Amino acid sequence: MWKRLKPNRKNLRIYQVLILVLLLAFWYIGTNPNVPAIYFDDVNKAPFFFGEPLKVASRLWDWFYGGEIYAHLWVTLVETMLAFAIGTVAGLAIGLWLGLAPAWADVFDPFIKGANAMPRVILAPIFMVWFGLGIGSKVALGFTLVFFIVFFNVYQGVREVSPVVLANARMLGANNRQLLRSVYLPSAMSWVFASLHNAVGLAFVGAVVGEYLGSASGVGYLIHQAEGVFDINTVFAGIILLTVFAIVLDWIVGMIEKRLMVWQPRAGETERM
Amino acid sequence: MSALLLDDITCTFISRDDPAARYTAVRNASIAVGEGEFVSVVGPTGCGKSTLLNVAAGLLQPSSGDCKVFGKTLEGINSHAGYLFQTESLMPWRRALDNVIAGLQFRGVPKEEAVPRGEEWLARVGLAGFGGRYPHQLSGGQRKRVALAQCLILDPKIILMDEPFSALDVQTRQLMENELLELWAADRKSVLFITHDLEEAIALSDRVIVLSAGPETHPIGEFAIDLPRPRDVSEVRLTPRFLELHEKIWHAMKEEVLKGYRQQLKA
Ligand SMILES: Nc1ncnc2c1ncn2[C@@H]1O[C@H](COP(=O)(O)OP(=O)(O)OP(=O)(O)O)[C@@H](O)[C@H]1O
Ligand SMILES: [Mg+2]
């Protein structure tokens, strides 16, 4: 009996849906004003703090059906993608450069460590002053978050290139440019992809936090507005929207990774008869 | 004139953790490989064989002495040489065929021309139809053979081989050894072949050089192998002359191995 219930490949999805349903049910019952209060002294307090799933759902429905959300979602998406793209390219370029020039890496080491250790979210208000309340300040914030993650991974990846593979490529006649293209880049790629999953999430954090702190559009702005009037259902709708959005972005990165990293050994490639 | 001359090479490594510590792996070693000659180097493990080969390839700068290639002092990578490494050297992100033709591509040969040549070479090392596999999908011996094709497709004048067949089973090994001898006989390349297998060294070479135990390794004996060619590596091992040579060289080596061992005990 237990053997059949044990999580495996086949019932994986069933378990996942089951857990989701349980969470929603718990949320629904716990915040339903018609159910006697368990923790709070008043049945209306729980829905005030945690929202009500049905109202959250109807909020989401209104957003998409009414079309109000698309402009905001688009703004957040553009900010995220720009921060992600610029941060990744810059991290890749500078990571490659410093990885290949250890002397310069030593020179910059304390500055990079310092810049990375700094709590960068604090920079958000400064970026508002520098780049205004539009897209620029959000992209800048996301960039500072994405850049370091990608940079450190590329740097590490370049330094971990197998010396034998490198020597072999040189013996086969590769010049420096060819070494970069045929050895350093592909070798660093596995590290880069490991970092991109984090990076895409952080680009998103940069955009939303930036919007939350000051802007006139974007999902972060919507959440901030709703919080101002204690509209907890809208806040939760925004959070759910952002979560789904982040999962989709991560999934896209995963798909690209699967495409490009076919050469990597994976466990268990035999077929079971 | 030698195709390859290692002239009075000394290699002293500096320890990374303790800059004051030195380890002299090779001292005053000279090895010459004539044009079209097949020279093997045998020596106990850790004595500095790979180190010497890296110097010959131009990958390692010796502390003193120099390396001459066709009479010219070597600077940078030895472009006349192909190198078969002791450890994994294939690019894991390239399929077998793409690995084989990598050198051609680096030299600017167009892909349409490189691919058929690569396939031909894969077939020659017994891997026809394996071109689409990534290195991790090949066995250790198959990877070694891909590396062999990758090296030989460039038709180098000098071939440096670092225990290339030690990962293969005895039968495949003898097949590959015969194949190597055939290739070598076809257009007389100069070969510097490293092995710790004395029988393999004798069966293949014109000359066998025995290295002393480390540290401060240097050649302690050179033996001309006058076995007639063409040879079949499995048959030549049974001839009386082979056994005689084996006895003689092994005698010289054994003393050295014991000497090195005693030195290590004293230290
Ligand atoms: N980069 C290095 N730094 C310090 N010591 C080194 C370095 N490379 C090699 N050595 C030392 O030099 C000696 C010779 O090494 P080498 O790799 O040439 O041995 P080998 O004869 O090829 O051995 P094997 O038959 O096991 O491959 C060893 O004692 C090794 O520890
Ligand atoms: Mg070695």
Note the pLDDT tens digit of each residue in B218-257: 898 899 999 888 888 888 989 999 999 999 999 888 877 7
Residue range B62-90: mean pLDDT, rounded: 91
ipTM of predicted complex? 0.89
Q: Does the pLDDT value for residue B118 go beyond 90?
A: yes
| pLDDT of B105 higher than 90 | yes
The model's confidence at residue B44, banded by pLDDT at 50, 70 and 90, is confident
Q: Where are the domains of chain A?
A: 1-50, 68-272
Cβ-based neighbour number of residue B230 at 10 Å: 9
- Is any ligand 1 atom within 6 A of the Cβ of residue B178? no
CB contact under 8 A, A165 and B89: yes
Q: Is B44 in the pocket of ligand 1 (CB under 6 A)?
A: no
Q: Cα(B196)–Cα(B219) distance, rounded to whole angstroms? A: 14
Specify the amino acid at residue A245: F
Q: Which residue owns the Cα nearest ligand 1 atom 25?
A: B45
Nearest ligand atom owner, CA of B25? 1
CA B227 to chain centre: 21
Protein residue whose Cα sits closest to atom 6 of ligand 1: B13
Q: Which residue type, as a one-letter code, is found at position B21? A: A
Average pLDDT taken over every residue of chain B: 89
φ, ψ of residue B244 to 5 degrees: the values are -60, -50
Residue labelled with tokens 């091992």: B237
Name B209's bridge partners.
B41, B222
- The reported pLDDT for the residue numbered B47 is 85
Q: How far is the CA of A26 from the centre of ligand 2 (A)?
A: 65
Are B130 and B96 a contacting pair, CB within 8 Å?
yes
- Nearest atom within ligand 1 for CA of residue B43: 21
Which residues of B, range 112-151, sit inside 8 Å of A by Cβ?
134-136, 147, 150-151
User: Which of the listed residues B13, B26, B165 should we mutate to test ligand 1's pocket, taking the one with most ligand atoms within 8 A of CB?
Assistant: B13
User: How far does residue B167's CA lie from ligand 2's centre (Å)?
Assistant: 13
- Alpha carbon of B40: minimum distance to chain A alpha carbons (Å): 21
- Strand-pair category, B72-73 with B64-69: antiparallel
**Closest residue in chain B to residue A185, using alpha carbons only:** B93
Identify the pLDDT of residue A75. Answer: 92
Q: Taking residues B182-211, what's their average pLDDT?
A: 90
Band (B110; pLDDT cuts 50, 70, 90): very high
CB nearest B154 (choices: A172, A186, A265): A172
Lowest-pLDDT range of A38-42, A105-109, A195-199: A38-42
Q: Mind telling me how many Å the CA of B253 is from chain A's nearest CA?
A: 30
Q: How far is the CA of A23 from the centre of ligand 2 (A)?
A: 60
Chain A residues within 8 A of B57 when measuring between CB atoms: 167, 171
pTM of the entire predicted model: 0.82
pLDDT at B158: 93
Nearest CB among B59, B90, B107 relative to A167 is that of B59
Q: State the distance from the centre of ligand 1 to the C-alpha of B214, rounded, in angstroms.
A: 9
- CA B74 to chain A, closest CA, distance in angstroms equals 14
pLDDT of A269: 63
Residue B259 has pLDDT above 80, yes or no: no
Nearest to B218 by CA among B76, B43, B92, B88: B43
- pLDDT at position A122, please? 85
| The pLDDT value given to residue A115 | 85
Q: What is the pLDDT of residue B171?
A: 86
**Higher-pLDDT residue of A262, A170:** A170
Under an 8 A CB cutoff, do A182 and B136 touch? no
| Percentage of chain B exceeding pLDDT 70 | 97
- Give yes or no for residue B261 CB within 6 A of ligand 1: no
Q: What is the pLDDT of residue B63?
A: 92
pLDDT of B126 above 90: no
Ligand 1 pocket, mutate which of B22, B26, B41, B50 (most atoms under 8 A from CB): B50
Q: How high is the pLDDT of residue B240?
A: 92
Which chain B residues are within 8 Å of A169, Cβ to Cβ? 91, 102, 106
Query: Are B233 and B174 in contact, with CB atoms under 8 Å apart?
Result: yes
Instruction: Give the confidence band of B266 by pLDDT, cuts at 50, 70, 90.
Output: low
Q: Which fold has domain A68-272?
A: MetI-like fold (1.10.3720)
Chain B: closest CA distance from residue A172 (Å): 5
Chain B closest-CA separation from residue A171 CA (Å)? 7
The SS3 of residue A119 is: coil
Alpha-carbon distance of A68 to A46, in angstroms, equals 28
Distance (angstroms) between ligand 1 centre and the Cα of A105 equals: 29
User: What is the per-residue pLDDT for B94?
Assistant: 93
Q: What pLDDT does B204 receive?
A: 93
Q: Residue B11, SS3?
A: strand
Give the closest of B78, B89, B151 to A164, CB-based. Answer: B89
CB contact under 8 A, A186 and B83: no
Q: How far is the CA of A232 from the centre of ligand 1 (A)?
A: 68
What's the average model confidence in pLDDT over B32-58?
91
Lowest mean pLDDT among A87-91, A186-190, B64-68, B99-103: A186-190
Q: In what side-by-side order are the strands of the sheet with B72-73?
A: B22-34, B2-14, B64-69, B72-73
Instruction: Read off φ and ψ for residue B67, nearest 5 degrees.
Output: -115, 125
Residue B95: pLDDT over 90: yes
Helix, strand or coil, per DSSP, at residue B145: helix
- Residue-level pLDDT at A47: 79
Paired residues of B33 in beta bridges:
B4
Query: Can you tell me which atom of ligand 1 is nearest the CA of B196?
Result: 25
Contacts 24+ apart (CB under 8 A), A136-140: A137/A210, A137/A214, A138/A79, A138/A83, A138/A206, A138/A207, A138/A210, A138/A211, A138/A215, A138/A218, A139/A79, A139/A82, A139/A83, A139/A86, A139/A206, A139/A207, A140/A83
What residue owns the CA closest to ligand 1's atom 17? B50
More confident residue, A150 or A271: A150
Look at residue B135 in the predicted model and tell me its pLDDT. 92
Is the predicted pLDDT of residue A268 greater than 80, yes or no?
Answer: no
